[in-house]
Structure 1
């Protein structure tokens, strides 16, 4: 059955209603363009619209994790250092009320196909609701964490209990008296464990790789303190824009190997007590570049964690004395009482490296240790198994370039972008928070603002010069990819399988999906590219 709906013609279409999409809609309208936004959910917020699992909260602290739009922040006060999902949804409602974003937005609408017409130099966007939109400029702000990943365990469809993905967590899920299994040990898995461990349930945590988590230092923020901090917002945001990572933290340009053990301990103690990402961002710079420096960080971390636990078996699994991971090469998590919670007697830890899951059946799952199998009876299984991150939601848009080739085909031999913002043979198509940009290793809102500002600058320059379309050259994109790979190889990231490297999804190509050279190097390249349109075809 063909679904028919409204047809609109506009200047620009933005896909996605998180920080990137809202920022793009607001700023493109300020250019005088007619803009519409298409959002799969029923409200703005992106990942914060979908994430409603117990304990869900942001791990970038306030006030740097928000829109730097005075009309928005003057009327908003955060109540916690690290706000939870409910407060973030209220924040996006406030953003909508102030900026009137809903009037130009189609909610509950999923983009199914996007096609470029070279003769008219316009895009046509097709959706599941029948809405059809044509536009000159297309902005994909689909984010890094939208396309859910379910592991393909044998017999998973036979499980008769409750199967839940962390990104689809139901409000009505009652675990009291239940046997609950959690698969996945990233940020969402950690936050869920922290909360469910406190419930009257048997909590089974199936982990393949223990997480690296550091104290969050969560606290309440009074109205008076929140108001007072607004007097520093200009300085805080300016620091974000000028930093390597989009955070306003102090930086230390000293090698861990050049400091004495006494100096290192004093600094580590100070930053550990300060909590949040200070322990990583304000510390010795070389822990992601040198394995010896990394081991110094690990040795400190493991002593701190083990001191908070009493169960030696669990301790050896989550924080073994012998370094089992390179600190920071997987997404670091912030925790409040995670290690105390997994130490509780109602929490059972299962080592999937020793005894992997072999299959599901109607009553639970089976693990195998050599020739020995064990059945784990479960009432609820929670998959905190993350996303087909960074590229997954982009590839699901069904984008075809001017030659009729799909983006999926174009990237079958590796992601190819220029600056992480545009793709060869795909005119007037811009990505926000996409691959081969600093993206997930940067503080989202300030970095997104810089991307959107670049896109607006490009469109303004095009209009001033009477250009109808622009696209990067193949040579420029190949050079950028070589640069992304080259920078990555000078770090420790390629030594670890992670979603930063695309290796969390079976069959997905292993390659650096994030630019590791920092915001300032990326921004310099972006600025130079627009000067004289170096590396672009224009028409």
Structure 2
């Protein structure tokens, strides 16, 4: 059997680099192909103004002791440049680049059932254009990330616009001055919030086109003093142990009490405490029934609305940003973190258009015209319109299994995986931080380690027992699919149109794209599967 590697890894973010390091430690030959010019995955591509992580240090890092002994974070919530530095530090410690090909985009992969290998097509960028090469491996590991396929809404005539227009995920790598520019920002998800709050003070004018208000929370970012860094380093093993016990792998968890059983005074006191802690505490550290009981959820929304409207001086803008009637239950869309985002709308040069009341009619040569007939002129249009999340980055690659069908064709009638990491008819293929795994409900760094260790154990088991092929049983996929969707229906999440269920993409099937049972339940499922000798998989010699 002609092979170049035991395993080909696709993607150079947290998932990819952890798998490369871990498989090498286990004695496998592995090679990573990355479309970007450097490590970082999403943190290579995300170079728009204000790009910053929404999970605090020391949680947002790979939980391996040797990586954190000599790296000092500067801020509680690191920005893009610090994260790029962190990836370079990881390479310095682990020596990864000798087994990485950059500027190399995997475009397809075909399973060869006779030779029991994957034939992987890679487009490598050269000075005279892309060159296609093919490499062969026993297994492939897709670490494409949850947000690697940008979504461009079907606006009318976007090519008419003669100014600059960029999706936040395709921002120019070189810096760009915003001074004096007339800017439109379409979308108010995480990247939209970060762009608005970062450049509002610099631009001549800004119009924010908002489809759905963002229930953003104060980030509470600050510089990290040396004594705090020393504490993190000294206590890091204990902190990791704490992460290993919580729902999302954070250093805190849901409050044990119930909102509906608390007195108004108790409820107000806890909400105040969590809100002023900053970060995601008000979302993931609150009463355990907030995300399950609509009446309890309304208490959280009303508190957030009151706090937000106090910060916006113009009543009309305040109502658009934090309306009396909540568009969806609090926290059932990804909650963003902000730094004076709402205060930006107090500036005379910043306006907001509610697209559900006044949608975009068409792009023009000079700007954007809305349904009310008003045309606004811009020098730059920022598309903060999000992603075909979770599954989109996988199905955009032409991966074909033993029956000749692509993964996109298989999933067209609904996602089917086992444990969120394997799919029937795609032998020896593993998916990391993808559909039907905890993914958006845990950090990429923490998930990379959890899933990476399971994959490493699985591949070692195949090698030690001389198996050449593994894929989940049909009934295992169906059981996992039922479990994922049953857990998702237990709370309020399914009542909201969001990328958690694929409904941000017109025509995409509505289904639970994330495992919402929490990291503890997920790790238990992985442990049981491993201890049972991978009984839910078909193994072949």
The alignment's TM-score, normalised by the length of structure 2, stands at 0.96
Q: Could you tell me how far apart the structure 1 residues matched to 2:97 and 2:386 are?
A: 29
Q: Is the contact between residue 38 and residue 107 of structure 1 (CA under 8 Å) also seen in structure 2?
A: yes
**1:233 is the counterpart of 2:236:** yes
Moved more, 299-308 or 182-191: 299-308
Q: Which of 306, 318, 327 pairs up with 2:330?
A: 327
**1:36 is the counterpart of 2:36:** no
Q: Is the contact between residue 182 and residue 204 of structure 1 (CA under 8 Å) also seen in structure 2?
A: yes
Q: Is the contact between residue 154 and residue 358 of structure 1 (CA under 8 Å) also seen in structure 2?
A: yes
Q: Counterpart of 1:300?
A: 303
Aligned length: 530
Aligned-pair distance for 1:447?
A: 2.1
Q: Is the contact between residue 113 and residue 397 of structure 1 (CA under 8 Å) also seen in structure 2?
A: yes
Q: Could you tell me how far apart the structure 1 residues matched to 2:101 and 2:368 are?
A: 41
Q: Counterpart of 2:129?
A: none
Aligned-pair distance for 1:13?
A: 0.6
Q: Counterpart of 2:535?
A: 534
**1:513 is the counterpart of 2:513:** yes
Residues 143 and 200 (structure 1), Cα distance of their counterparts in 2 relative to 1, 3 Å cut: closer
Q: Could you tell me how far apart the structure 1 residues matched to 2:154 and 2:350 are?
A: 25
Q: Is the contact between residue 217 and residue 336 of structure 1 (CA under 8 Å) also seen in structure 2?
A: yes
Q: Could you tell me how far apart the structure 2 residues matched to 1:110 and 1:206 are?
A: 33
**1:166 is the counterpart of 2:168:** yes
Q: Is the contact between residue 205 and residue 349 of structure 2 (CA under 8 Å) also seen in structure 1?
A: yes
Q: Is the contact between residue 207 and residue 350 of structure 2 (CA under 8 Å) also seen in structure 1?
A: yes
Structure 2 unaligned residues grouped into runs of 5+? 125-131
Q: Could you tell me how far apart the structure 2 residues matched to 1:174 and 1:161 are?
A: 15
Aligned-pair distance for 1:459?
A: 1.0
Q: Could you tell me how far apart the structure 1 residues matched to 2:256 and 2:431 are?
A: 32
Q: Is the contact between residue 182 and residue 203 of structure 2 (CA under 8 Å) also seen in structure 1?
A: no
Q: Counterpart of 1:212?
A: 215
Q: Is the contact between residue 142 and residue 432 of structure 2 (CA under 8 Å) also seen in structure 1?
A: yes
Q: Is the contact between residue 44 and residue 92 of structure 1 (CA under 8 Å) also seen in structure 2?
A: yes
1:346-389 Cα offsets, whole Å, 9 max, x none, are 10111101110111121111111xxx422121111000011111
Q: Could you tell me how far apart the structure 1 residues matched to 2:410 and 2:327 are?
A: 37
Q: Could you tell me how far apart the structure 1 residues matched to 2:120 and 2:211 are?
A: 41
Q: Could you tell me how far apart the structure 2 residues matched to 1:39 and 1:46 are?
A: 8
Q: Is the contact between residue 487 and residue 517 of structure 1 (CA under 8 Å) also seen in structure 2?
A: yes
**1:414 is the counterpart of 2:422:** no
**1:198 is the counterpart of 2:226:** no
Provide the secondary structure at the position in 2 that maps to 1:43.
coil
Q: Could you tell me how far apart the structure 2 residues matched to 1:437 and 1:271 are?
A: 28
Q: Counterpart of 1:366?
A: 369
1:384-432 Cα offsets, whole Å, 9 max, x none, are 0111111111012211111111111100100000010100111111011
Q: Is the contact between residue 528 and residue 534 of structure 1 (CA under 8 Å) also seen in structure 2?
A: no
Q: Is the contact between residue 183 and residue 203 of structure 2 (CA under 8 Å) also seen in structure 1?
A: no
Q: Could you tell me how far apart the structure 2 residues matched to 1:537 and 1:205 are?
A: 52
Moved more, 78-87 or 460-469: 460-469
The alignment's TM-score, normalised by the length of structure 1, stands at 0.96
Q: Is the contact between residue 115 and residue 401 of structure 1 (CA under 8 Å) also seen in structure 2?
A: yes
Q: Is the contact between residue 52 and residue 78 of structure 2 (CA under 8 Å) also seen in structure 1?
A: yes
Q: Could you tell me how far apart the structure 2 residues matched to 1:278 and 1:231 are?
A: 24
Provide the secondary structure at the position in 2 that maps to 1:59.
coil
**1:317 is the counterpart of 2:312:** no
Q: Counterpart of 2:91?
A: 96
Q: Counterpart of 1:476?
A: 476
Aligned-pair distance for 1:250?
A: 4.2
Provide the secondary structure at the position in 1 that maps to 2:375.
strand
Structure 1 unaligned residues grouped into runs of 5+? 1-6
Q: Could you tell me how far apart the structure 2 residues matched to 1:286 and 1:159 are?
A: 47
Q: Could you tell me how far apart the structure 1 residues matched to 2:94 and 2:42 are?
A: 20
Q: Is the contact between residue 328 and residue 495 of structure 2 (CA under 8 Å) also seen in structure 1?
A: no
1:467-508 Cα offsets, whole Å, 9 max, x none, are 111100111001111111111111111111111110111221
Q: Counterpart of 1:4?
A: none
Q: Write out aligned runs for 1:298-447 (5 A).
A: 298-368=301-371, 372-447=372-447
1:130-181 Cα offsets, whole Å, 9 max, x none, are 2321111110000001111111211101110101111122334333222110
Aligned-pair distance for 1:8?
A: 6.7
